[in-house]
Structure 1
Amino acid sequence: MKSFILLMLLIFSSSALSCSCYSEAISYEEELNRYDAIFMASAMNVERMPGDWSSGFYKTEMKVDKVYRNKGIPRTVFIKTALENNSCGGPAPTIQSHYLVFAHKTDDGIYETGGCSTFMNIDQVNSELKSASAEEKAEWQSMLADIWSALGNPIVIYGK
């Protein structure tokens, strides 16, 4: 149960805690199966699309390194993330940072994050772990190990 709660905290990251996110999944595998795509990628270009807090978004070009779900994901994809923390969004993606992306595909072919899906800056997590307490570090490392185990081996690995 502790692992499931930690998974939910990860999936509904701190930027999304103010949202109304709820999952009935009882295992990592069930939660992972809810997404159209799961992949590791680096942010190459970020563009803020016009609109207010409810209609604007960041459109980020991502260079995909590893695919864990949906082997049809091309080497380069565009993802859409909400602008504001209070609308399940967050800060703009950071160019050249590495992300673990859990996304749903929109009708216009863009993968969408936010609104309760994971868009985790792996570089930021690794940086924050350096200053975490031993207890926090152990919890995060255990949770991350469980997630990587649930993801399994990538189904596609793109060359550098």
Structure 2
Amino acid sequence: MRKAAALLAASTIALALAGCSSDEVTEKTDAAKDKASAAMSSVAEAAEGAQSSVNAAASTAAAQVKGALDSAKVATFTAAFKVANPDLAEGRDDDAIADILAQTCADIDAGQSEQEIVAGLESRAENNGVKATPDQAQQIYNIAKPAC
């Protein structure tokens, strides 16, 4: 784009110089410079606008993909939890099971050890007075960790 604008300006100046007096050349040269500058500004503004639009679209698409992956991970965890632990899932809706995942991920992000998290899952996964066994809690942790 810059080469084209420079070529346009140079051509305009050369044509102006070919058939004009000194004052006319100055006026036409200044006018050509103004036109070239305006054209370059318009092109730059259009390019910046297009780049902003592309950046916004890419950002939106990335957020949508991330949201879809998170939803898929939650759905996968919920389904696996229900299949592996029907006694702990009985009567719970998907949101309640998703909360177990969210709390487990928060514990992982907080830097808690696997042993601490698994021990906490025994109570966290409790349902109708039935606590998760240590094996169930470990299994829940193993399902949750990749989803985090």
TM-score normalised by the chain length of structure 2? 0.28
Larger Rg: 2
Q: Which has the higher contact order (CA 8 A, sep 6+)?
A: 1
User: Structure 1 or 2: larger helix share?
Assistant: 2
User: Structure 1 or 2: larger strand share?
Assistant: 1
